[in-house]
């Protein structure tokens, strides 16, 4: 084992001997330490059972007084050890968790003992074992934890002393600051201290912060003169110090970034109350947090933390405040586009993955706690409740920065400069920002109108966005949207850029509400006419494609913004045609049917015959009866893609089916009422006011009563009811009745805003009139009344705006157009958000918004004024009257039936199309009585004369016989009852025998010029024509009769 010389043996033996001695010494030391520890435990156990803390604390206080008189390092260490020993022996606590400080004054005193530098305190050797460096480090951690307890008010959560001591907080800042000492143990000290607090009291800091923030915001909400400035300063200092304290572990290189975000950045409104000098380091750590959250390797570490919905909300608010520039330019110089991109990614992640699971708009399941912003939440109420003011401030002062003009100007710059942007960069920028804005609108629906308004009226944004959307995808030209729509709603929702289209349509819809014809067709801004045509075609095909595959109704509702803009363009084209012919119809060509299988069912050409139209309508209706949801969705959401003739035939078929169902359910086949001709409205209202809807749809028989109370002669086969409706309509629409007004030049009808001053029950009367009009449409009775287009739009559930005001009051419309395009200072015009009305000789002021009379119209708010004024005149001024009328109308005619028509088409249904009737068509569908027939010489003369009539004469002729100057839609075959001509004698005698033969061979008397005039029964669409033998006499007598309203007779 050893060499021959054996020179190393002595050295080896000596080494082994020393090792044995060292091991023996260590063993003895361990035994001694164990004995001391056991003794200390025994002493502690005995001390606890004594339960007389006042005795040993009195001793400590006495020793502390002596130390102040003659301070010494070894005495300070002894007092610190005694303090920790006495505190840990508190009966209510158990090791190893540090207990709360027993007394504020004693904690302050022991903090003063720590004025010795850390190196001296920890490393100075001392004889007693309890003063060893290891024990001293434990003591320091113990006291620092108690300081943390103290500043977090753990002793009494929610209590905020008016003037709390700053000594514990100063002690923490002194000892935990990484630069305070160059010790190898400093990092361990930081880690142990913060980890111990985090595990022992995870919500301590949050509760303390909640109480201070809540009171701080309440103080700041007061008038400046009544604020407690001293307390505000103290609370702000506390927030700053705690934030600085929690940055120490990060500065020491500890992996405390997730804890920093979950503990400090979840303090509500923290970032708005930090001093500027502290914002920079906080922003640096927050930026590191953004990088961590967007790094797939570490993001789960942060997002898997035990944070509730309010914590995520407050975290978002602080991150937004730190990185989003505000109106004052704060943060603008320190933030770059990359930083904002990271912020938007994190906000989207929190919005989509974190917040939805905590909040709900309705109360159900675990969502049983009220929330000031989201209505209902599953978050448990915190031990320190937060007032609604805190959530309101987070919402308005922090979250709202994401749609502030300063933020939008930065993030939307690539879109405004789309021509100079690479296609991929433009696509990614658009996807990110509009996905964020759309999610904000879904998460905060109360702010969605504000977001859309900011986007809609941001200069040049909408046309630039339209052009930018053409750059998306490899093919461009909006091809990505067409391709996604072909595969249905689920595929469209998976398209990353679909939010761009949604937001564009919602915002552009607001833009079109404020545009007038000068903007669109003369100045062509913000869109050119060509762009409007292209936009209409794209939206028409896109939404139609979505309907080809039926999806959940709520999913389709996400695209009603697309439909709204589409219908606005369609209404604009209906009012002021600018699109090519058949631009909207998608059901007329074989090529289109190949693209969309459903169109094979709906295919109908304009050149087809009416019978073909009815055939298509019947086939379409058959599919509806079979429960095919696709045709129903198309008919209800995009009726303009189907020809009007087809829709009209479907409408009539629906009424026929409804009549069959009503007749089978009625107990009585008809309902008889008595009407005095001089009191049509009064008697009709009293008799029919409370009649059930089913009876309204049934047969209503009318018995007219004369002045003596006797029923007039006549057989009611439906004619008297038509006569009653016609006369009633003429009565209620007369200006003297006080229910309706008419437009200045065109005399179109709409509810009067003074009706309440004339009739106390005006709303019941409007509902009754609405039922009468609905009954007329239900029975196919044409009425000679023309409603204003903006009023008809209410039947269809639509609101109307600026351009429709021209029809109501052209002077007001001109003034608003002038204001809208006024280049000077609008303040000079002296306008306020109020309008004056003349009511029965009095001037009444109506405010357009709250306290509008005191709000001056300026260049910044003049568009809002234009919008509110148009909305008031068209939608609000007679809102109650309109709602009552429409409610009555819809009780007879379902809203789903009429919504497939435009206002103009609905007017055609009510009063017929504004065209002259076709004489050959009327002749083909005319019935003859009492000796007349198709080839009768007098009938031939009649049709020759009618053919030669002017347009004015033709309308007078039709009104004379039917009560309405317009033919029914679809032609004379839809007259109800059928158009009829009856032979009558010249002298009021019956037409029999010789009289009939004379009339047949035109052997009239020479006195026929003195004979009777032609007469009519409008209730039966009946012309009573004497057998004139000369064409000149027939022409003269007929023209005289139709232009003098002569000869009404009840048959």
Provide mean pLDDT across the span 861-869. Answer: 89
Per-residue pLDDT of 392-423, as tens digits, reads 999 999 999 999 998 999 899 999 999 988 99
Burial 934-948 (b: 16+ CB within 10 A, else e): eebebbebbeebbee
Q: Quick one: CA dihedral 588, 591, 596, 599, positive or negative?
A: positive
Residue 783 contacts residue 725 (beta carbons within 8 Å): yes
Q: Where are the beta strands (DSSP E) in 665-788?
A: 670-676, 699-705, 740-742, 749-751
Residue 198 contacts residue 190 (beta carbons within 8 Å): no
Is residue 219 included in any domain, yes or no?
no
C-alpha 553, offset from chain centre: 17
Q: Which residue matches tokens 């234009």?
A: 866
Alpha helices for 918-989 (secondary structure H): 919-924, 937-948, 951-962
φ, ψ at 842 (rounded to 5°): -110, 150
Given a cut of 50, whether residue 751 has pLDDT beyond it is yes
Residue 383 contacts residue 389 (beta carbons within 8 Å): no
Provide mean pLDDT across the span 888-896. Answer: 92
* 517-521 long-range contacts, CB within 8 A, separation 24+: 517/576, 517/803, 518/817, 518/821, 520/572, 520/576, 521/576, 521/578
Range(s) of the domain holding residue 623: 592-665
Provide mean pLDDT across the span 275-292. Answer: 90
Of 861, 888, 911, the one marking the end of a domain is: 911
Given a cut of 50, whether residue 726 has pLDDT beyond it is yes
Residue 324 contacts residue 279 (beta carbons within 8 Å): no
Strands 740-742 and 1015-1017, by their bridges, are unpaired
Given a cut of 50, whether residue 593 has pLDDT beyond it is no
| Other beta carbons less than 10 A from residue 484's beta carbon | 22
Per-residue pLDDT of 838-852, as tens digits, reads 777 778 888 998 888
Query: Which of 728, 752, 756 has the alpha carbon at shortest distance from 742?
Result: 752
Are 904 and 920 members of one domain?
Answer: no
Q: Is 752 helix (H, G, I), strand (E, B) or coil?
A: coil
Provide mean pLDDT across the span 637-661. Answer: 86
Give the tokens for residue 25. 């010494």
Given a cut of 80, whether residue 196 has pLDDT beyond it is no
Given a cut of 50, whether residue 96 has pLDDT beyond it is no
* More confidently predicted of 951 and 95: 951
Q: Where are the beta strands (DSSP E) in 622-728?
A: 670-676, 699-705
**From CA 690, how far away is CA 768, in angstroms rounded?**
10
* 216-220 long-range contacts, CB within 8 A, separation 24+: 216/273, 217/269, 217/387, 217/389, 217/390, 217/393, 218/387, 218/389
Per-residue pLDDT of 994-1005, as tens digits, reads 455 554 454 455
Of 665, 689, 724, the one marking the end of a domain is: 665
87, β-bridge pairs: none
Burial 753-762 (b: 16+ CB within 10 A, else e): ebbbeebeeb
- The pLDDT of residue 971 is 83
**From CA 725, how far away is CA 816, in angstroms rounded?**
40
Are 563 and 612 members of one domain?
Answer: no
Per-residue pLDDT of 28-51, as tens digits, reads 888 888 877 777 776 666 656 555
Residue 981's H or E segment, with its range, is strand 980-984
Residue 293 contacts residue 303 (beta carbons within 8 Å): yes
Is residue 68 included in any domain, yes or no?
yes
Give the tokens for residue 357. 């699971």
Are 561 and 448 members of one domain?
Answer: yes
**From CA 1027, how far away is CA 933, in angstroms rounded?**
12
Could you check whether the bond before residue 526 is cis, i.e. omega within 30 degrees of 0?
Answer: yes
pTM across the whole model: 0.76
- The pLDDT of residue 133 is 64
pLDDT band at residue 497 under the 50/70/90 scheme: very high
pLDDT band at residue 597 under the 50/70/90 scheme: very low
Per-residue pLDDT of 136-184, as tens digits, reads 777 777 888 788 777 776 444 444 444 456 788 888 887 777 765 444 4
- The pLDDT of residue 981 is 92
**From CA 983, how far away is CA 975, in angstroms rounded?**
20
Given a cut of 90, whether residue 340 has pLDDT beyond it is no
Provide mean pLDDT across the span 859-865. Answer: 88
Are 875 and 922 members of one domain?
Answer: no
Provide mean pLDDT across the span 995-1016. Answer: 61
Q: Quick one: CA dihedral 449, 451, 457, 463, positive or negative?
A: negative
Are 978 and 870 members of one domain?
Answer: no
- The pLDDT of residue 6 is 62
Tally the domains of the chain.
Answer: 7
Is residue 1032 included in any domain, yes or no?
yes
Picking from 343-347, 627-631, 704-708, 714-718, which range would have the lowest pLDDT averaged per residue? Answer: 714-718
- The pLDDT of residue 140 is 78
Picking from 318-327, 595-604, 865-874, which range would have the lowest pLDDT averaged per residue? Answer: 595-604
Is residue 367 included in any domain, yes or no?
yes
Are 57 and 46 members of one domain?
Answer: no
Residue 175 contacts residue 114 (beta carbons within 8 Å): yes
pLDDT band at residue 269 under the 50/70/90 scheme: very high
- Estimate the crossing angle of helix 53-69 against helix 104-113, to 10 degrees: 40
Q: Which residue matches tokens 């009425």?
A: 783
Q: Is 707 helix (H, G, I), strand (E, B) or coil?
A: coil
Per-residue pLDDT of 544-554, as tens digits, reads 888 877 666 66
DSSP characters for 264-277? Answer: TTTSTT-TTSS-HH
DSSP characters for 389-430? Answer: HHHHHIIIIIGGGGGSHHHHHHHTHHHHTGGGS-HHHHHHHH
Residue 992 contacts residue 1027 (beta carbons within 8 Å): no
Q: What's the mean pLDDT when you consider all of the chain?
A: 81
Per-residue pLDDT of 213-236, as tens digits, reads 999 999 999 998 999 998 899 889
> Which percentage of the chain shows pLDDT scores above 90?
28
Provide mean pLDDT across the span 367-379. Answer: 90
Q: How many CA atoms lie within 13 A of 1044 on its CB side?
A: 11
Given a cut of 80, whether residue 131 has pLDDT beyond it is no
Are 565 and 497 members of one domain?
Answer: yes
pLDDT band at residue 1049 under the 50/70/90 scheme: very low
Are 837 and 927 members of one domain?
Answer: no
* More confidently predicted of 514 and 39: 514
Query: Which of 492, 474, 620, 471 has the alpha carbon at shortest distance from 545?
Result: 492
Provide mean pLDDT across the span 1018-1046. Answer: 84
Residue 318 contacts residue 398 (beta carbons within 8 Å): yes
Query: Which of 372, 252, 259 has the alpha carbon at shortest distance from 309?
Result: 372
Could you check whether the bond before residue 338 is cis, i.e. omega within 30 degrees of 0?
Answer: no
Per-residue pLDDT of 767-794, as tens digits, reads 999 999 999 999 988 888 999 999 999 9
- The pLDDT of residue 816 is 92
Are 471 and 548 members of one domain?
Answer: yes
Query: Which of 267, 237, 224, 96 has the alpha carbon at shortest distance from 166?
Result: 237
**From CA 459, how far away is CA 525, in angstroms rounded?**
11
Given a cut of 70, whether residue 197 has pLDDT beyond it is no
Residues 6+ apart with CB under 8 A from 874: 790, 799, 800, 801, 804, 805, 808
> Which percentage of the chain shows pLDDT scores above 70?
80
- The pLDDT of residue 533 is 95
Is residue 444 included in any domain, yes or no?
yes
- The pLDDT of residue 516 is 85
Could you check whether the bond before residue 977 is cis, i.e. omega within 30 degrees of 0?
Answer: yes
**From CA 709, how far away is CA 693, in angstroms rounded?**
29
Is residue 259 included in any domain, yes or no?
yes
Positions marked catalytic: 1019
Residue 1017 contacts residue 719 (beta carbons within 8 Å): yes
- The pLDDT of residue 263 is 86
* More confidently predicted of 278 and 601: 278
Is residue 544 included in any domain, yes or no?
yes
φ, ψ at 366 (rounded to 5°): -80, -10
Is residue 688 included in any domain, yes or no?
no
* Burial tier of 960 (Cβ tally within 10 Å: 0-12, 13-18, 19+): buried
Of 650, 665, 680, the one marking the end of a domain is: 665
Angle at CA of residue 901, ends 810 and 598, nearest 5° = 140
Provide mean pLDDT across the span 389-393. Answer: 92
* Burial tier of 848 (Cβ tally within 10 Å: 0-12, 13-18, 19+): buried
Per-residue pLDDT of 682-697, as tens digits, reads 988 998 988 888 888 8
- The pLDDT of residue 194 is 67
928, β-bridge pairs: 981
Given a cut of 70, whether residue 22 has pLDDT beyond it is yes
| Other beta carbons less than 10 A from residue 428's beta carbon | 15
Q: What is the CATH number of the domain that holds 963?
A: 3.30.2410.10
The phi-psi region of residue 964 (left if phi > 0; otherwise alpha if psi is between -120 and 50; otherwise beta) is beta
pLDDT band at residue 101 under the 50/70/90 scheme: low
Are 70 and 58 members of one domain?
Answer: yes
Q: Is 99 helix (H, G, I), strand (E, B) or coil?
A: coil
Are 384 and 244 members of one domain?
Answer: yes
Given a cut of 50, whether residue 937 has pLDDT beyond it is yes
- The pLDDT of residue 61 is 82
Angle at CA of residue 62, ends 59 and 66, nearest 5° = 140
Per-residue pLDDT of 292-324, as tens digits, reads 888 776 666 677 667 888 999 999 999 999 998
Are 366 and 502 members of one domain?
Answer: no
Residue 757 contacts residue 739 (beta carbons within 8 Å): no
């Amino acid at each position: 084992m050893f060499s021959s010389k054996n020179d190393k043996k002595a050295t080896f033996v000596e080494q082994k001997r020393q090792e044995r001695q060292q091991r023996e010494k260590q063993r003895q030391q361990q035994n001694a330490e164990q004995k001391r520890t056991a003794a200390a435990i025994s002493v502690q156990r005995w001390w606890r059972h004594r339960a007389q803390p006042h005795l040993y604390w009195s001793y400590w206080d006495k020793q502390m007084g002596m130390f102040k008189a003659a301070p010494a390092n070894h005495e300070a260490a002894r007092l610190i050890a005694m303090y920790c020993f006495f505190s840990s022996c508190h009966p209510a606590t158990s090791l190893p968790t540090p207990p709360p400080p027993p007394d504020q004054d004693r904690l302050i005193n022991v903090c003063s003992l720590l004025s010795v530098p850390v190196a001296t305190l920890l490393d100075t050797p001392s004889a007693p074992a309890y003063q060893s460096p290891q024990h001293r480090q434990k003591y320091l951690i113990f006291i620092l934890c108690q300081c943390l307890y103290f500043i977090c008010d753990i002793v009494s959560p929610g209590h905020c002393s008016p003037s709390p001591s700053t000594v514990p907080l100063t002690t923490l800042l002194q000892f935990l600051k990484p630069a305070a000492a160059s010790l190898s143990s400093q990092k361990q000290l930081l880690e142990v201290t913060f980890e111990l607090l985090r595990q022992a009291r995870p919500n301590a800091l949050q509760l303390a912060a909640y109480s201070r923030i809540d009171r701080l915001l309440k103080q700041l909400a007061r008038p400046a003169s009544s604020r407690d400035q001293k307390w505000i300063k103290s609370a702000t200092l506390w927030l700053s110090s705690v934030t600085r304290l929690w940055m120490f572990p990060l500065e020491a290189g500890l992996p405390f970034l997730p804890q920093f975000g979950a503990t400090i950045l979840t303090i509500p409104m923290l970032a708005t109350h930090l001093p500027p000098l502290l914002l920079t380091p906080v922003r640096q750590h927050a930026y590191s947090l953004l990088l961590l959250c967007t790094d797939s390797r570490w993001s789960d570490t942060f997002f898997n933390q035990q944070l509730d919905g309010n914590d995520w909300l407050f975290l978002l608010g602080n991150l937004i405040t730190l990185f989003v520039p505000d109106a004052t330019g704060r943060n603008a110089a320190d933030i770059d586009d990359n930083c904002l991109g990271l912020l938007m990614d994190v906000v989207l992640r929190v919005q989509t993955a974190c917040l939805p699971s905590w909040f709900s708009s309705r109360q159900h399941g675990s969502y049983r706690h009220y929330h000031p912003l989201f209505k209902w939440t599953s978050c448990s109420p915190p031990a320190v409740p937060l007032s609604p003011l805190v959530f309101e401030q987070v919402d308005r002062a922090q979250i709202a920065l994401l749609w502030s003009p300063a933020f939008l100007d930065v993030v939307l710059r690539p879109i405004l400069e789309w021509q100079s942007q690479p296609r991929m960069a433009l696509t990614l920028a658009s996807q990110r920002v509009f996905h964020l804005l759309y999610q904000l609108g879904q998460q905060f629906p109360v702010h969605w109108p504000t977001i859309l308004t900011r986007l809609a009226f941001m200069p040049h944004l909408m046309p630039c966005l339209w052009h930018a959307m053409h750059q998306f995808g490899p093919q461009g030209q909006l091809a990505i949207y067409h391709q996604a729509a072909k595969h249905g709603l689920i595929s469209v929702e998976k398209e990353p850029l679909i939010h761009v289209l949604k937001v564009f349509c919602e915002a552009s819809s607001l833009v079109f509400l404020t545009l007038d014809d000068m903007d669109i067709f003369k100045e062509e801004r913000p869109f050119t006419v060509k762009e409007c045509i292209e936009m209409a075609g794209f939206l028409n095909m896109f939404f139609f494609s979505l309907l080809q595959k039926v999806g959940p109704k709520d999913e389709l509702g996400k695209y009603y913004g697309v439909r709204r803009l589409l219908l606005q363009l369609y209404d604009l084209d209906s009012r002021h045609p600018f699109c090519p012919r058949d631009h909207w119809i998608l059901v007329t060509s074989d090529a289109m049917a190949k693209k969309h299988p459903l169109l094979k069912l709906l295919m109908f050409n304009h050149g087809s015959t009416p019978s073909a139209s009815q055939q298509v309508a019947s086939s379409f209706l058959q599919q509806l009866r079979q429960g095919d949801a696709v045709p129903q969705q198309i008919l209800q959401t995009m009726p303009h893609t189907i020809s009007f003739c087809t829709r009209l035939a479907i409408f009539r078929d629906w009424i026929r089916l409804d009549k069959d169902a009503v007749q089978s359910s009625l107990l009585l086949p008809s309902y008889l009422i008595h009407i005095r001709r001089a009191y049509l409205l009064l008697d009709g209202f009293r008799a029919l006011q409370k009649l059930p809807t089913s009876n309204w749809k049934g047969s209503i028989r009318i018995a007219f009563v004369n002045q003596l109370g006797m029923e007039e002669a006549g057989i009611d086969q439906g004619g008297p009811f038509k006569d009653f409706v016609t006369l009633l309509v003429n009565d209620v629409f007369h200006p003297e009745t006080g229910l309706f007004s008419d437009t200045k030049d065109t005399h179109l009808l709409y509810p009067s805003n003074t009706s309440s001053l004339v009739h106390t029950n005006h709303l019941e009367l409007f509902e009754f009139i609405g039922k009468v009009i609905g009954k007329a449409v239900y029975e196919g009775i044409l009425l000679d009344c023309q409603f204003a287009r903006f009023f008809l739009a209410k039947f269809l559930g639509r609101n109307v705006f600026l351009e429709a005001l021209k029809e109501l009051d052209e002077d007001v419309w001109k003034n608003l157009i002038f204001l809208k395009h006024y280049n000077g200072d609008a303040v000079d015009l002296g306008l306020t958000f109020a309008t004056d009305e003349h009511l029965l000789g009095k001037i009444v002021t109506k405010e357009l918004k709250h306290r509008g009379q005191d709000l001056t119209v300026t260049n910044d708010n003049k568009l809002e004024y234009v919008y509110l004024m148009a909305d008031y005149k068209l939608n609000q001024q007679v809102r109650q009257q309109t709602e009552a009328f429409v409610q009555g109308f819809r009780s007879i005619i379902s809203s789903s039936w009429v919504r497939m028509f435009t206002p103009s088409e609905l007017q055609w249904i009510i009063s017929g199309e504004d065209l002259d009737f076709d004489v050959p068509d009327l002749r083909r569908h005319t019935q003859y009585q009492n000796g007349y027939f198709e080839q009768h010489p007098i009938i031939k003369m009649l049709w020759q004369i009618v053919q030669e009539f002017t347009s004015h004469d033709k309308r007078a002729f039709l009104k004379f016989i039917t009560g309405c100057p317009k033919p029914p839609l679809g032609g004379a075959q839809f007259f109800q009852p059928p158009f009829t001509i009856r032979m009558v004698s010249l002298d009021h005698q019956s037409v029999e025998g010789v009289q009939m033969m004379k009339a047949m061979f035109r052997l009239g008397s020479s006195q026929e010029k003195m004979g009777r005039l032609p007469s009519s029964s409008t209730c039966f669409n009946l012309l009573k024509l004497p057998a004139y033998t000369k064409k000149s006499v027939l022409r003269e007598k007929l023209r005289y009769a139709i232009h003098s309203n002569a000869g009404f007779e009840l048959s």
